[in-house]
Amino acid sequence: MITKKIQKRLFGTNGVRGITGKELTPELVMKIGASLGTMRKGRIAVGRDTRTSGRTYINAIKSGLLAAGRDVVDCGILPTPALQYLVKEQFDGGAMITASHNPPEYNGIKIIEPDGTEMGDEETLKLERLIFDEPFSTHTWDHIGHDLNAPRLIEKYITAVANHFTGKPGRGMTVVVDPGSGPACITTPRILSLMGCNVITINCILDGTFPGRLPEPSEEGLQNLSSLVVSSGAVFGIAHDGDADRAVFIDEKGQFVEENQEFAVVAQHICRQSKGTIVTPVSTGQIVEMIAKKENCPITFTPVGSIYVARTMLSLIDQGEHVIFGGEGNGGLIFPDHQFCRDGGMSAAMMVLILASTGKKLSGLVKQLPKRHIIKDKIVTPQGEKILEALGVFYSQNPIDRTDGLKVFKDDSWALIRSSGTEPILRIIIDSEKRETGIAFHEELKQEIQKIVQ
Ligand code: MG
């Protein structure tokens, strides 16, 4: 069972994204709200990240929803997983105004289903038809929806995450949190404090101009966090992306933990608690499959995108499979006991539990993982599909996986070549045991692509 990707007109893998005032306008957002309000009944929760354009778009989406007759509850500034949790618990749908890790000039929308997952491809296509092709309904004066502000609902999310971890496992631990001026300023430090941690923060004032660092938690952007971890003697540092569904870690020595290694450390811990399936996209590092195998847990691969991971987890569970963990190799981890979406607050809390229960240092947990080498590259070309087809022929003697793009296995390595759905870009990931074989595979691919586009 593998979910297949469907190409859409407006929505990408993680909702709508665009530059404020260019691709994304209040008119478009209002239309999306009215279309969503036509498609979904009941009470819709809305929220936003800290971007300066968030106020405009939250009002636009509310306007559309209210005109379509929906009752709207505005949860204010909060992480995407917090809104997803609230929708799952008490609403009939949701819309989050966020551009996640994109720079400050961007904004976007993620649509949330009643079960708290992001809207899947099939439903998104129906929503797009309403936005583009069919008149959505706007109601007369006696059927306009009601709106309510509920900024304190976020407390329910904080408590729900902390309640998964009883007995204050963080007692005696100092941790440093870098929410990057995003909505996790008001959640992750609180969650970790409730777990007993001594919490130090950096970039922890809500600010949509992102004065401390960009919303993408890249290694280069986390130098200040890294220094603070070392100088404060913290057990780790954690940083979120702009809507806190992802979390990345700095170990106690100030070293950035590569996201596939983060996934593997958490997967190992979860596999040791109970046996079951791990779900992840084909782009995730080989290290995760190696850990799952070692711990006797099966792994199921999906197309790239957290929504495919979440939906596959749900459908495997429907089929009676025991699914213990899911996520992506970018710091987006899904804990099925909590909810079926990436949750940065949960990832932070889980790392505290892992350190407490193993008694090990984060650097030590990373060091004992198998060693792999990853090369990431992107090629700007409008001929993505042609290249994929020709490479499929060139590597026809090799084992190939076509879950998303082309994944070619060769000796101790694999290469994933995917065409971006929204830009004229071909993305390449090579994962190898030895550095030299990865480099050679990369060179071979570049040469072949060169020949194809000539
Ligand atoms: Mg995000």
CA distances from 41 to 37, 48, 110, 113, 231 (A): 7, 21, 18, 11, 52
Cβ count near 371 (within 10 Å): 9
Query: Do 353 and 241 share a structural domain?
Result: no
Q: How far is the CA of 104 from the centre of ligand 1 (A)?
A: 13
- Domain presence at residue 8: no
- Domain presence at residue 9: no
Show the domain range for 274. Answer: 259-367
Query: Do 144 and 39 share a structural domain?
Result: yes
Q: How far is the CA of 61 from the centre of ligand 1 (A)?
A: 20
Residue 377 has pLDDT above 90, yes or no: yes
- Among residues 227, 170, 191, 241, the alpha carbon closest in space to that of 14 is found at 241
Q: How far is the CA of 435 from the centre of ligand 1 (A)?
A: 30
- Rounded CA-CA distance 117/133 in Å is 26
**Up-side HSE of residue 30: CA atoms within 13 Å toward CB?**
9
Give the model's pLDDT for residue 96: 98
Write down the residue that tokens 């087809």 correspond to: 389
Q: How far is the CA of 333 from the centre of ligand 1 (A)?
A: 11
Residue 1 has pLDDT above 70, yes or no: no
- Rounded CA-CA distance 160/146 in Å is 28
Give the model's pLDDT for residue 234: 98
- Rounded CA-CA distance 234/252 in Å is 6
- Rounded CA-CA distance 68/145 in Å is 7
Neighbours of ion ligand 1 (CB under 5 A): 100, 241, 243, 245
Query: Do 177 and 53 share a structural domain?
Result: no
> DSSP code of 309?
H
- For residue 380, the SS3 value is strand
CA 316 from centre of chain: 20
pLDDT average, residue stretch 361-367: 98
Q: Of all residues in the chain, what percent carry a pLDDT higher than 90?
A: 92
Q: How far is the CA of 52 from the centre of ligand 1 (A)?
A: 17
Residue 57 has pLDDT above 60, yes or no: yes
- Domain presence at residue 6: no
> DSSP code of 146?
P
CA 191 from centre of chain: 19
pLDDT average, residue stretch 101-125: 96
Query: Do 360 and 276 share a structural domain?
Result: yes
Q: How many residues does the chain have?
A: 454
- Domain presence at residue 4: no
- Domain presence at residue 2: no
DSSP per-residue string spanning 131-157 = HHTSPPP---GGGPPPEEE-GGGHHHH
Cβ count near 134 (within 10 Å): 11
Q: How far is the CA of 452 from the centre of ligand 1 (A)?
A: 35
Give the model's pLDDT for residue 2: 53
Q: How far is the CA of 101 from the centre of ligand 1 (A)?
A: 6
Q: How far is the CA of 218 from the centre of ligand 1 (A)?
A: 13
Query: Do 106 and 44 share a structural domain?
Result: yes
Active site residues: 100
Q: Is the dihedral of CA 439, 445, 451, 454 positive or negative?
A: negative
- Tell which phi-psi region holds residue 274, choosing left (phi > 0), alpha (psi between -120 and 50) or beta: beta
- Could you read off the pLDDT of 388-428 as tens digits, one per residue? 999 999 999 999 999 999 999 999 999 999 988 677 899 99
Query: Do 428 and 306 share a structural domain?
Result: no
Query: Where is average pLDDT lowest: 67-81, 128-142, 199-213?
Result: 128-142
CATH code assigned at 424: 3.30.310.50
Indicate the number of domains in the chain: 4
- Domain presence at residue 7: no
Instruction: Give me 183's structure tokens.
Output: 């909505």
Instruction: Give me 234's structure tokens.
Output: 């913290």
CA distances from 431 to 259, 276, 376, 388, 450 (A): 14, 25, 9, 18, 21
- Could you read off the pLDDT of 198-237 as tens digits, one per residue? 999 999 999 999 999 999 999 999 999 999 999 999 999 9
Provide the whole-model pTM. 0.96
Q: How far is the CA of 239 from the centre of ligand 1 (A)?
A: 12
**Up-side HSE of residue 2: CA atoms within 13 Å toward CB?**
16
Query: Do 168 and 68 share a structural domain?
Result: no
Q: How far is the CA of 152 from the centre of ligand 1 (A)?
A: 22
